[in-house]
Amino acid sequence: MKHIFLNLKRFDVPREMGGVNSLAAPEKWGAAVVEGIQGGLSAYAPEEVDFTVFFPEAHLLTAKAARIDGSRVTIGCQGIHGEDVAPGKNFGAFTTSCPAAAASALGCEEVIIGHCEERKKLAGIMAEAGVTDPAAVCRILNREVQAALARGMKVLYCVGESAEEKPRWQEVLKTQLELGLDGVDRSQVVIGYEPIWAIGPGKTPPGREPIQEIAQFIKETTGGMDIVYGGGLKTDNAEMLASIPEIDGGLIALTRFAGEIGFYPEEYLEIVKLYMGH
């Protein structure tokens, strides 16, 4: 079974405001994404591959409404709070936070947790309080994973090492995996590996051999969990990633990196076609 995830980050911001969105007006953007990809995804059998799109929270309702009967698009959100609504306890006092109950009520079946951008944000907040222990970030993320699973949502749990951590990547990834997955039902979780040191303009992405080595390490550490490449599944690496038996899919973000950069549904479908081989 393959897994292809799409993380739309904040690609909804219009170009005139400094963003990369020329697909649709913000109020129609979520629907435009779903409508632009779901027809093309119908060519793939459900037992062959699944497709999840992680939307910013504001677009969940329009994205869900755009799904047609039999749509292959699963709606996901970009993070949840580590505490959830509970009868007789906290019934919704979560200003600025999205509990798993709210995400589920809005139509989310999956959530991305531990993305390098989330880890960076959490580490920055704790650094202001004088806490610099990376394990603390993992423990917070573990509570988010637990909350999602308890609400019946599946999880894409991301791990990865920075340039400074690269010389001891095994130790870093093992800590993130063991602490982040502590006590969870791993059958409902997919691992996303992000080579943080290689993500961004002007940086050199890893080749086939290092990706395979790390994927083998993660599978050994987790007892064979599914793992997708989170460093960006794109047209120029799709066939290479598909050739790695330990890699079970990928995480797509932008589809165009030059000229009018941004996310384009037809280019997303081309990446899927290249990865799946048809």
Exposure string over 173-184, b if 16+ CB within 10 A, otherwise e: bbbbbebbbeeb
Q: Which of 110, 144, 161, 194 is catalytic?
A: 194
Is the separation of the CB atoms in 271 and 234 below 8 Å?
A: yes
Check residue 187 and give its pLDDT.
98
Q: Is 110 a catalytic residue?
A: no
Calpha distance 263→269 (Å, rounded)? 11
Check residue 270 and give its pLDDT.
98
DSSP 96: T
Check residue 222 and give its pLDDT.
98
Q: 51 in the Ramachandran plot: left (φ > 0), alpha (ψ -120 to 50) or beta?
A: beta
Q: Is 81 a catalytic residue?
A: no
pLDDT band at 207 (very low <50, low <70, confident <90, very high): very high
Check residue 89 and give its pLDDT.
92
Check residue 250 and give its pLDDT.
98
Q: List the single range of 40-49, 126-135, 142-151, 237-246 with lowest mean pLDDT.
A: 126-135
The answer on pLDDT for 76 being more than 90 is yes
The structural domains of the chain, ordered by start, are 2-106+190-276 (3.20.20.70)
Calpha distance 63→34 (Å, rounded)? 6
Check residue 249 and give its pLDDT.
98
Check residue 128 and give its pLDDT.
96
Check residue 186 and give its pLDDT.
98
The answer on pLDDT for 193 being more than 90 is yes
State the chain's mean pLDDT as an integer.
97
Is the separation of the CB atoms in 130 and 112 below 8 Å?
A: no
Q: Which of 35, 115, 118, 144 is catalytic?
A: 115
Q: 220 in the Ramachandran plot: left (φ > 0), alpha (ψ -120 to 50) or beta?
A: alpha
pLDDT band at 200 (very low <50, low <70, confident <90, very high): confident
The answer on pLDDT for 180 being more than 90 is yes
The answer on pLDDT for 94 being more than 90 is yes
Contacts of 83 (CB under 8 A, 6+ apart): 90, 94, 99, 143, 147
Check residue 204 and give its pLDDT.
87
pLDDT digits (tens, 9 = 90+) for 13-59: 999 999 999 999 999 999 999 999 999 999 999 999 999 999 999 99
Segment 249-254 shows an average pLDDT of: 97
Segment 96-113 shows an average pLDDT of: 98
Q: List the single range of 199-213, 214-228, 249-263 with lowest mean pLDDT.
A: 199-213
β-strand pairing of 189-194 with 154-160: parallel
pLDDT digits (tens, 9 = 90+) for 213-248: 999 999 999 999 999 999 999 999 999 999 999 999
The answer on pLDDT for 201 being more than 80 is no
